[in-house]
Structure 1
Amino acid sequence: MPFLLYGATGYTGRLIADLAVARGLRPTLAGRSADTLAAVAHSTGLDHVAVGLDDPAALDRALADHPLVLHAAGPFSRTSAPMIEACLRTRTHYLDVTGEIAVFEALAARDAEAQEAGITVLPGTGFDVVPTDCLALHLKTRLPTATTLKLAIRALSSASHGTAQTAVENLGAGGAMRRDGRIVSVPAAHDTVEATFADGKTRPCVAIPWGDVSTAFHSTGIPTITTYAAFPASTVRVMKASRVLGPVLQSSPVQSLLRALVARTVTGPTEADRQRGASHVWGEATDDAGRQAVATWAGPEGYAFTADAALRSALAVLDGRTEAGFQTPSSAFGADFALEMDGTRREDG
């Protein structure tokens, strides 16, 4: 049976749709804009259904004909709740490509309901969560006594419209890490780490509130987790300035202005960008005795990886490779899942 690809008119959704067609798959495309959706359906030759997330009855009807939805319409802080509610009602497997801590935690809280409904709830099936989550479990396997985990990413690519909108929503909201098993608020860019990636390049990376603060804990049980990213110095200065400007950046007028700016200027990487881009992940696990395990992962440009990983995840769930309930990529498929995608490698340090 075909699955439902919701958000098929967005940047990531369109990449997934095109890759699905190239691999002989025929998902049903879905989204709220009938005209835009019809154009994508015409160019891909796929069936489509226009339905908004604010219409529960219509959403239930769309999901009822499909065993699984791959949800690609962000920001997921606004879109995941109505979709998971519909999936629980219709007993439809839920997958998405989010990287938002609050979304992961909200979906993890629905674990018992998902088990009762007999569905898999698997958020974060793209970059960065698949490789970082799998690297976290790999490090935990190498160092079972680990109590502290650091994960850093370096992505050589520009952002899509949806990713930029999520960044705008979180601008000025501060940072987050997991400390002694609990997610706690910390100042923006509160810590830095020197990470040597798989290409041998060492970069200073600044702490960010990335999704692995949630997922890596569910996957490994490691109680203290910080996530980092390699950013230009100018970006780090802006992040630190947001500690003072947070209330202004979170205000409705500024948020509206920034969202409008994103809508006008951000389109996502071109095909050439995706072809020459690359993604890197570094991880370090430490235990209370000072023992360490270090590993790196490298792969294609992030959005190209996301389309590949999300499709493979959907097919694996449809193939019965997962259990009911909330899952992370590594709890669903194992630490080596991030190596199943084309052009990936992992090295122990």
Structure 2
Amino acid sequence: MKWMIYGVYGYTGKLVAAYAKAQGLTPIVAGRNKAAVQEIAEQHGFEMRTFALDNPAEIAAQLTDIDAVVHCAGPFEITAPPMIEACLQSKTHYLDITGELTVFELAHEHHKRAVEAGVVLCPGVGFDVIPTDCLAAQLKQQMPDTTHLALGFDSASRMSRGTAKTSVRRLAEGGAIRKNGQITTVPLAYATRKIDFGGGEKLAMTIPWGDVSTAYYSTGIPNIEVYIPGSPGLVKRLKRMNLFRFMMGWGWVQRILQKKIDEQPAGPDDKQLEHAITYVWGEVKNSHGEVKTGRLKVMNGYKLTSRGAVDIAQFILEKKPAGGFYTPSKLCGADWVSRYQLAEDNA
């Protein structure tokens, strides 16, 4: 069966391709830039294709013989809609590495069409969604009557440029939580609390992460918040930014911020990829005030993404699940994360 990595010359796309090669797999690699795709194709001995994501019908024509696509080209709020539409037309399974709320909601809206087409739509087949989604599902199993879910992660790893740009693009929109089953816009750093993610207690703040969408579809828990560590200074700056965050959406402001990101390294260096530990935390509560907490320690988020993307693509090709929208835990099970966990002696 044929599968494709699209956006293969981005930071994470390169990691996905390298892991596929190490596993003895032969994906077709693709992207918009012919020279950049060709460099990766020649490095690994892969077949290549070059096409843009401007027109779903034209994309579908490139996918007619492709069984599954791992989509790695962001920003996904722009690139995912035409790629998902093309996959539905060509009956190609769709996976991506996004963490963007809007993309998960878009994919879920296409659930009925995906069922009818026999196409799996599973965005978020990397970090943080695989570990947080699996942890959420495990906690739901432990407390079936839970009404509130909090998730979070703590990583010392540098962000890739793509992740940083996505975060900057969304500043003007504020934060997001799920309240009584509905995604609700809230201020930046809307809620703060002290959390021990696994490496000691830290001040943490809410972020508008994809789990606000995915954890709901995995567990049905109606109230969801997602946290990351934030210094008192950062929390204070973000709270102040709420007064003028609308300016963050202005074109010239975005161009300045994006230019600063382009001046930074592409992503974590080799040392961080191999040795940076990521702590994942979750907490559920029910209406009686009972609380259960779970923690996981997993590999560097980008390393996890490179493996998760390839592993779940192979899972789909081998298991041939029914079409429809899936989260990682719904597709592969709540224990899927175990393959990316670190032993205690790795601390």
The TM-score bracket by the shorter chain reads over 0.9
* Residue in 2 that maps onto 1:48: 48
CA distance in 2, matches of 1:37, 1:241: 43
Higher mean displacement: 294-303 or 47-56:
47-56
- The SS at the match of 1:330 is helix
SS in 2 for 1:147: strand
Q: Using the TM superposition, give the Cα deviation of residue 172 of structure 1 relative to its aligned residue in structure 2, in angstroms.
A: 2.8
- Which residue number corresponds to residue 303 of structure 1? 302
Distance 1:82 1:56 in 2: 5
Q: Which moved more, 1:138-147 or 1:43-52?
A: 43-52
* Deviating more after overlay: 290-299 vs 254-263: 254-263
Deviations 1:15-64 (A, max 9, x none): 00001001101110010001111111111111110110014344222211
TM-score norm. by structure 1 comes to 0.95
CA distance in 2, matches of 1:342, 1:288: 31
> In structure 1, what is the Cα distance between the partners aligned to 2:233 and 2:38?
41
Q: How does 1:1-349 map to 2 (within 5 A)?
A: 1-199=1-199, 201-320=200-319, 322-341=321-340, 343=342
More displaced stretch, 93-102 vs 270-279:
270-279
SS in 1 for 2:334: coil
1:239 Cα deviation from its structure 2 partner: 1.9
One-letter identity of the residue aligned with 1:72: C
Check whether the contact 1:150–1:283 (CA below 8 A) recurs between aligned residues: yes
Q: Deviations over 1:201-250 (max 9, x none)?
A: 11121011111100000000000001100133343233222201212111
- Shift in Å at residue 91 of structure 1? 0.4
Q: C-alpha displacement at 1:188, in angstroms?
A: 0.7
Point out the more displaced range, 237-246 or 131-140.
237-246
Q: Aligned equivalents of 1:320 and 1:344: distance in 2?
A: 28
Structure 1 residue 164: deviation in Å?
A: 1.2
Question: C-alpha distance in 2, partners of 1:344/1:117?
Answer: 41
For the 8 Å contact 1:164–1:266, the answer to whether it is kept is no
In structure 2, relative to structure 1, the CA distance for the partners of 1:244 and 1:266 (3 Å cut) is farther
Given that 2:152 and 2:197 are in contact with CA atoms closer than 8 Å, whether structure 1 keeps it comes out as no
2:296 touches 2:341 (CA, 8 Å); kept in 1? no
* Gap change, CA 1:3 and 1:344, over 3 Å in 2: farther
Return the letter of the residue paired with 1:304.
K
Q: In 2, are the aligned partners of 1:300 and 1:344 still within 8 Å (CA)?
A: no
Could you tell me the percent identity over the aligned residues?
Answer: 39
Which one is further off, 36-45 or 51-60? 51-60
Tell me, in whole angstroms, the C-alpha distance in 1 between the residues paired with 2:237 and 2:46.
43
Aligned-partner Cα distance in 1 for 2:236–2:31: 38
When the two structures are superposed, what TM-score results if normalisation uses the length of structure 2?
A: 0.96
**Is contact 1:322-1:333 (8 Å) kept?**
no
Gaps of 5+ in 1: none
1:195 Cα deviation (Å)?
1.8
* Separation of aligned partners in 2, 1:68 and 1:95: 8
Contact 1:159 1:266 (8 Å CA) reproduced: no
Distance 1:136 1:248 in 2: 35
Contact kept? 1:171, 1:242, Cα under 8 Å = no
Tell me the SS of whatever aligns to 2:17: helix
Taking the aligned partners of 2:307 and 2:150, their CA distance within structure 1 comes to 26
SS of aligned partner of 1:340: helix
* SS at structure 2 position matched to 1:83: helix
Unaligned runs of 5+ in 2: none
| CA distance in structure 1 between the partners assigned to 2:327 and 2:259 by the alignment | 33
Distance 1:57 1:108, change over 3 A: closer
CA contact (8 A) 2:279 2:298 kept: yes
- Deviation of 1:321 (Å): 5.3
Q: For residue 220 of structure 2, what is the amino acid of its counterpart?
A: G
User: CA, structure 1 residues 87+47, in 2 after alignment: closer, same or farther (shift >3 Å)?
Assistant: same
